[in-house]
Every structure is written in structure tokens, then in C-alpha cells.
Amino acid sequence: MAKYSRRAAIVGTAAGLAGVLAPWPGFAQESDQQILIDRARLVVEEFQTDPNFANVPIYVQNAYAVLIVPDMLQGGLIIGLEHGVGVLLARNRTTGAWSDPAFYEIYGGSLGLQLGGKSSDVIFTLMNATAVDKLLTSQFKLGVDASMAVGRIGAGVGAATTVRFGEDIYVFSRSRGLYGGLAADGSAVLERTEWNEAYYGAGVSAGQILRGELALRPGAQGLREALARF
């Protein structure tokens, strides 16, 4: 009887503690969408502190939009891309401020790492309005609907340097300990509609998000600020 009473007391205490903690915002489980946004922020910050990507700021500073895809690739020299989920943010063409992130998925195609190893995080910079508009209005294929090239890696292009951006999109990939460009021609980029609606509300489109038609989400502030630091 005493043993049962002790067990009942423990169960009761645990249930009571759960009831106390449940309403606390700090104990709420983050959504998949928020986890991806937070991961994308870390990707941006890692690129900013990595000397191998000292050239990335000049591309981001001149970009109309950026697509950040964490953990997109695994493997060796030649990889068939299975799937990746990322966030797309557009720059306000008047104020220069970044939009909230819209969710996109990328799949298909064959990717080759120029220097081998595995690529875990990828940033695509869209360098003109036409590339952004095409991505918003149709099934978009990298290298087909917009020209694409590997961005320069290493030192040599500073913020004060005038750069002629001859391609619609530049891509930068970062792995742990090994760096290389990648070619993603033919990979399709599609709006992840269900994720956009889950995070922003039913019926919300990527276009509305990127055009700044919605109130800014506090959960994306860290990512917006990180991009602004490029």
C-alpha cells in the first residue's frame, strides 16, 4: 500500500508539473517552419565568419533575392539531388530591406562538387528582377529559366569593388572542412505552399510574403537582421 501511495504521489507530482509548464511559451514546441528559419540564420552567420567566403557579401549586397537551403547535399564528387527545403527572401527595391522568408523546395538534377567532399549548406543569390519574377510565376528550373554560375570563393572581391554580374543566379556551397562550388543546372525550385500557409495563414502565397504585403513575423527578425549585416 505504501509502495502504491508513493507511485501515485510521483505520478501526481509529474502531472501537476506538466500542467504548470505547459502554458509557458518557453516550453512550446517550435514548428518545422521556425526551425528552418533559425537554421537558415545560422547558415548566413557561418558564411559571414568563414574567410573562404569573403566574396559572398558583394553578391548578397547586389542581389534582388536570396535562397538559403541548409543541409541540401550529402555524398561525394557527383550527387543526384534528392530534395532540399529552404527559404527565399527578397529585397525591397525601394528601401533595401529584406522581406520575411517564403518556403521553397528544390529537387531533381545532377550536382557536381568542383572540389569534392560534401556540401551541407547552400546560398543562391538572384541578381535581377526577372529571375525573381520567373521563380514566383512558374515552375522554375535553375540554369534553364535563369542562367547560373558558381560564385567566386576566397579573397579578391571587396565591398568597394565594381563587379559585373553576368549571370542571373550565383550559387555558393559550404561544407564542414572542405569548400567547393557546385553546379545545379536543371534542379527545380517550387513554392512549398503548405509550409507558407502553416506559418503565415491559409491562402497566403510566396508572392505576398516577398512583396511585404503581410505584417513582419517576429520569428524571422533574426534572419532578416543577419542578411542585413552582409
Q: Which tens digit of pLDDT belongs to each residue from 39-96?
A: 999 999 999 999 989 989 999 999 999 999 998 765 445 445 556 899 999 999 899 9
For residue 205, what pLDDT is reported? 95
Q: Distance between CA atoms of 41 and 47, rounded to whole angstroms?
A: 10
Helix axes 221-228, 32-49, angle to 10 degrees: 20
For residue 150, what pLDDT is reported? 73
Which residues does residue 173 pair with via DSSP β-bridges, in sequence order?
A: 122
Lowest mean pLDDT, pick from 97-101, 127-131, 135-139, 221-225: 135-139
Residue reference for cell 556551397: 173
Q: Distance between CA atoms of 91 and 204, rounded to whole angstroms?
A: 19
Residues whose CB is less than 8 angstroms from the CB of residue 191 and which lie 6 or more positions away in sequence, other chains included: 102, 103, 104, 205, 206
Q: Which of 127, 95, 42 is nearest to 211 (CA)?
A: 95
C-alpha cell at position 22: 505547459
Which range, 118-127, 184-193, 201-210, has the best average confidence (pLDDT)?
201-210
| Whether the Cβ atoms of residue 76 and residue 118 lie closer than 8 Å to each other | yes
Q: Distance between CA atoms of 186 and 183, rounded to whole angstroms?
A: 9
Q: Distance between CA atoms of 52 and 86, rounded to whole angstroms?
A: 22
For residue 184, what pLDDT is reported? 61
Q: Write down the pTM of the prediction.
A: 0.77
